[in-house]
Amino acid sequence: MKRKISGGSIVPEPALRRLPWYLAYVKLLEAQGEKVVSSTHIAKSTGVDSALVAKDLSYVSIVGKTRVGYDVAEMVEVLESFLGFNLSHKAYIFGVGNLGAALMHDRGLSQFGMDIVGGFDIRDEVVGEVIGGSPVYHLSELKERRDKEVSIGILTVPVDVAQEVTDKLVECGISAIWNFTPFRIMVPDHVVVQNTSIYSHLAVMFHRIDEAISGL
């Protein structure tokens, strides 16, 4: 995934993934009353080379002053705006199991522009419940319950029904899917998909642990 900025330039996905790290750090500094920060300090706190920090920030037109650094308040404002964290993006959870329910309870997501306004499931024990302040409906009610302002579907269903539920999301007009299943769902070109497989990350971590142990 890449994102265009004014002038038609494109921010590479690796840089997009790092920008929230910088934002989290400078927000901490802002809360502590700090006014400026250098790329060196950002680099040390995020584990990113200082030259790469400067390059990443240049994509969003944040330029530091020589021997002074970056204005903290400006960085927070520009990064939140660019990343879309200062807007409200309404979303539904599909599959209100352990992970889905946890995401519905996580009100911290709203600090990053994600507003989960409801969930859908097929199990009687969760349909009709209110989780994290949001109602849970039966999946069969999707078309009639669909709020046109909701553009994002968060997919946390069992893998064997991932594509089936995805098709229902696309059919009802959902334009972006945050996919937490290990299944690579198929969607039309106009639908945005962000895959976040916990199991894939676990596999990488386990492999690195094995490599570290074997290298001792």
pLDDT at 72 over 80: yes
Percent of the chain with pLDDT over 90: 74
Tokens coding 104: 């519905």
Backbone angles phi, psi at 173, to 5 degrees: 100, 10
Q: Domain 89-200 belongs to what topology?
A: Rossmann fold (3.40.50)
What residue ranges of the chain are covered by domains with CATH 1.10.10.10?
3-82
Work out the pLDDT band at 9, boundaries 50, 70, 90.
low
Q: Which H, E and C letters describe the chain, residue by residue? A: CCEECCCCCEECHHHHHHHHHHHHHHHHHHHCCCCEECHHHHHHHHCCCHHHHHHHHHHCCCCCECCCEEEHHHHHHHHHHHHCCCCCEEEEEECCCHHHHHHHHCHHHHHHCEEEEEEEECCCCCCCCEECCEEEEEHHHHHHHCCCCCCEEEECCCHHHHHHHHHHHHHCCCCEEEECCCCCCCCCCCCEEEECCHHHHHHHHHHHHHHHHHCC
**Is a pLDDT exceeding 60 seen at residue 1?**
no
Predicted confidence (pLDDT) at residue 6 exceeds the cutoff of 60: no
Q: What residue type is assigned to position 181 of the chain?
A: T
pTM here? 0.81
Looking at residues 152-170, what average pLDDT do you find?
97
Radius of gyration over every alpha carbon of the chain, rounded to an integer in angstroms:
20
Q: What is the arithmetic mean of pLDDT over 45-69?
A: 88
Contact 99, 50 (CB under 8 A): no
**Has residue 2 got a pLDDT over 50?**
no
Instruction: Kindly report, as residue ranges, where domains of CATH 3.40.50.720 are found in the chain.
Output: 89-200
pLDDT digits (tens, 9 = 90+) for 75-117: 999 999 999 998 889 999 999 999 999 999 998 898 888 999 9
Question: For residue 174, what are its two tokens?
Answer: 């959902």
Whether domain 3-82 has CATH 1.10.10.10: yes
Q: Which two tokens stand for residue 201?
A: 């990350």
